[in-house]
Amino acid sequence: MTSLFDDFQIAWAQLAPSISADLQPETWFADLLWDSEPIAPVVLLERLSADPGVVVHGYSRWFVLLRIRDELRFYAGPLPNPWDARDQTRREAIQRESDERELGILRSVPEAACFAQQYLEGRRLSQISIARRAPGWT
């Protein structure tokens, strides 16, 4: 079985995005750890370590995807500021970003890659037509 990170890399490469982005494995992103039924932290960490998700850093935005309880949970938003103190142009681009961000659940890895591509290429979250649902607590 391949990991979510591996599957995402394949889907991302097939899109051949026009942007430069850094893909890294991700095993822990607290904003995606909502649950109606608590999971013991040790068990959750074991599951996420066995099936790492992905974080994609764009120029001024980022996208995170984890598989938790068979859901593809994502976060999309502007990069924390300052991202790279040595790059004034990038810092200014991050500061110009709207505070728009989203947490949700996507249906498939290819749709997640397409969502990430559109968002990191500059589309507003409200302009992305890929189906997703909000967490049950919203």
Residue closest to 60 by CA, chosen among 84, 29, 40: 84
Identify residue 90 by its one-letter amino acid code.
R
Query: Tell me, what's the pLDDT at 138?
Result: 55
- Report the chain (138 residues): mean pLDDT per 10 consecutive residues: 92 83 86 75 82 91 92 92 72 83 96 96 94 83
Q: What are the sequence ranges of the domains in the chain?
A: 4-133
Query: Tell me, what's the pLDDT at 83?
Result: 58
CA distances from 57 to 36, 51, 75 (A): 29, 20, 12
Number of Cα atoms under 13 Å in the Cβ half of residue 119: 28
Q: Model-level pTM?
A: 0.88
